[in-house]
Amino acid sequence: MPLRGDGRLNHDLMPGEKGPQDACGVFGVWAPGEEVAKLAYFGLYALQHRGQESAGIATSNGEQILVYKDMGLVSQVFDETALNALTGHIAVGHCRYSTTGGVTWENAQPTLGATASGTVALGHNGNLTNSAELVNLVAERYGAQRRGELARGNTTDTALITALFAGDADRTLEATVLEVLPRLRGAFSLVFMDESTLYAARDPQGVRPLVLGRLERGWVVASETPALDIVGASYVRDVEPGELICIDADGMRSVRFAQAERAACVFEYVYLARPDNTINGRSVHSARVEMGRILAREHPVEADLVIPTPESGTPAAVGYAAESGIPFGQGLTKNAYVGRTFIQPSDTLRQLGIRLKLNPLREVIKGKRLVVVDDSIVRGNTQRALIRMLREAGAAEVHVRISSPPVKWPCFYGIDFASRAELIANGLAVDEIGQSLGADSLGYITTEGMIAATEQPSSQLCAACFTGKYPIELPPDDQLGKHLLEQAELPLGQPEDGLKQLAVSTGGSTALDHP
């Protein structure tokens, strides 16, 4: 008698189960004569996987800055009317997943702030670790009353950076930025602009990726190389850790504000980045295939078929199959049209075991000994439900192989994992995790094997979520946390930054007021 589904499914099968949440996506373009807002739109579209909570674009025509942002996906926030209103030759775009500050319209980016000579619009990928210190620095320099974005309810570390960029009356924005950037700790890949110049900066560790590209009539900076590809820009190079890039009518120039102390996030190679991305010269897809090959050598098993968990497990599954000689197959089919859904199924539908995203190909897996390859295990709910589904469909054995080591530590540099208490690897040994999931066997790649697949020196990678060794010093626990600035005791005040350069028109009015 076949087993019936119990409806207790996970985020790959049903909504509601949160896995590792990506950082954010940033995009900037300087291109006179081009429709820069539309270039930014398509660049953000290519970076949508990095953040799905809100999206925004700011543009400048050399005299004024327009901005449009709202909650939702890039395709939900923008239409032709909004994009046509965002005129100019410089644009900065952002798609957000929140790592500091709640999921609110006020926290959407780009942020806006006054400078000594105009306005700055800023997008940030990463997470600062010294926000509490920066709160005090803002108060020390500009008074305890909140100003600008902070006064309008923005509770992100990005708003602190924007406030610090205000500077003094006798200093340029570039001079102010070069003084502020060395004061920031943690991960930051920044793309920002004033009325005439596009800027990009990356923290000294280079935790989050940032690349520079060339258009026929301009320049592009973006979180990942696919965003260059989609707008027809050629890849020039990575923005270096500790580097500030400035692009204006006089061309592109580079200034170093700190010496590089490379500690790039290894989880970008495992999961976060698109497979068609290239990070520091290494193809992400090739790295993931190699992780699968190494995993097959480290954890061989007799089986009939290797299948991936779509889509993130596919490259590693290809590598595992190639190395092991076990045939590769598609044992699961994915509904390509299911995105984020906020409609919760009824109890009746849950009891029927509705599967919104994945469904097994029964004729492929029935009676087979399966190797199921996935990129990571966080809470374990995803894999537990998947294994149950495969057994219901007739799989004879289910052997799980994971192309990253056990996740045991939280990330403070821009990824929102579950808490330590929720991470399944903290409470159970590997064989106990396998039993908990209902797998016949479980194997994780070693940290050494994962790093070898990236072809990067281990000394230049951050693997803190696997090892607990943080390359950037952390402050006390009470100075960390997603909602730190919502609890800060800095008095709220009225906006006093005089955003005189902000033009309010169709597509620009949402800069200061929710639509």
**Is there a binding annotation on residue 465?**
yes
24, 112, 132, 211: the catalytic one is 24
- 3-state SS track over 390-453: HHHCCCCEEEEEECCCCCCCCCCCCCECCCHHHCHHHHCCHHHHHHHHCCCEEEECCHHHHHHH
* Of 28, 173, 178, 179, nearest in space to 114 by CA: 173
**Is there a binding annotation on residue 304?**
no
Question: Which amino acid is it at 124?
Answer: H
Give CA–CA dist 419/430, Å, rounded.
19
Q: Is 24 a catalytic residue?
A: yes
Give CA–CA dist 302/326, Å, rounded.
8
Give CA–CA dist 155/134, Å, rounded.
13
Give CA–CA dist 136/134, Å, rounded.
5
Tokens of 20: 């590792």
Instruction: State the burial class of residue 322 (Cβ atoms within 10 Å of its Cβ: 0-12, 13-18, 19+).
Output: middle
Buried b (16+ CB within 10 A) or exposed e, 273-304: bbbebbbbebbbbbbbbbbbbbbbeebbbebb
**Is there a binding annotation on residue 246?**
no
**Is there a binding annotation on residue 95?**
no
Instruction: State the burial class of residue 223 (Cβ atoms within 10 Å of its Cβ: 0-12, 13-18, 19+).
Output: buried
Question: Which amino acid is it at 384?
Answer: R
**Is there a binding annotation on residue 312?**
yes
Q: Which parts are annotated binding residues?
A: 265, 312, 374-375, 411, 462, 465
Q: Which parts are annotated binding residues for Mg(2+)?
A: 312, 374-375
Catalytic residue set: 24
